[in-house]
Amino acid sequence: MSKLVAALAMSHSPLIPSIPTAPPIEKREKVQEAYDQCRVILEEKKPQAIIIISAEHMSTLSPQLIPPFTLGVAESYSGPLDKWIGIPQKEYKGSLEFSHFLLSRLYQNHFDVAMAGELALDHGIIQPLHFVEPREEEVVVIPVVLNGITPPLPSMKRCYEFGKVLREAIEEQEIFERVAILGTGGLSHWVGTKEMGTVNEEWDRRVLDLIQSGRAKEFACMNDEEIIPAGNGAEEVRAWSVVVGASLSNQGQVIAYENVKEWVTGLGFVEMKVEEGALV
Residue 58: the pLDDT is 77
Taking residue 28's Cβ as centre, other Cβ atoms within 10 Å add up to 18
Confidence of residue 220 (pLDDT cuts 50, 70, 90): very high
Residue 280: the pLDDT is 47
**Tens digit of each residue's pLDDT (9 = 90 or more) over 99-122:** 999 999 999 999 999 999 988 899
**Tens digit of each residue's pLDDT (9 = 90 or more) over 190-200:** 998 999 999 99
Q: What would the mean pLDDT of 250-255 be, rounded to a whole number?
A: 98
In a 3-state reduction of DSSP, which class is residue 63?
coil
**Tens digit of each residue's pLDDT (9 = 90 or more) over 157-183:** 999 999 999 999 999 999 999 999 999
Answer yes or no: is pLDDT of 60 > 90: no
Q: Would strands 178-184 and 49-55 be described as parallel, antiparallel, or unpaired?
A: parallel
Angle, alpha carbons 18-266-218 (nearest 5°): 140
Residue 278: the pLDDT is 55
Please give the residue that has the higher pLDDT: either 151 or 167. Answer: 167
**Tens digit of each residue's pLDDT (9 = 90 or more) over 201-217:** 999 999 999 999 999 99
Residue 56: the pLDDT is 86
Answer yes or no: is pLDDT of 47 > 70: yes
Confidence of residue 35 (pLDDT cuts 50, 70, 90): very high
Q: Identify whether the C-beta of residue 145 lies closer than 8 Å to the C-beta of residue 55.
A: yes
Answer yes or no: is pLDDT of 257 > 70: yes
Confidence of residue 235 (pLDDT cuts 50, 70, 90): very high
Taking residue 213's Cβ as centre, other Cβ atoms within 10 Å add up to 12
Distance from C-alpha of 52 to C-alpha of 54, rounded to nearest angstrom: 7
Q: What would the mean pLDDT of 85-94 be, rounded to a whole number?
A: 95
Residue 59: the pLDDT is 78
Q: What is the dihedral of CA 271, 273, 276, 280, to 10 degrees?
A: -110
Q: What is the pTM of this model?
A: 0.96
Q: What would the mean pLDDT of 73-98 be, rounded to a whole number?
A: 94
Confidence of residue 63 (pLDDT cuts 50, 70, 90): confident
What is the overall mean pLDDT for the chain?
95
Residue 279: the pLDDT is 52
Q: What percent of the chain has pLDDT over 70?
A: 99
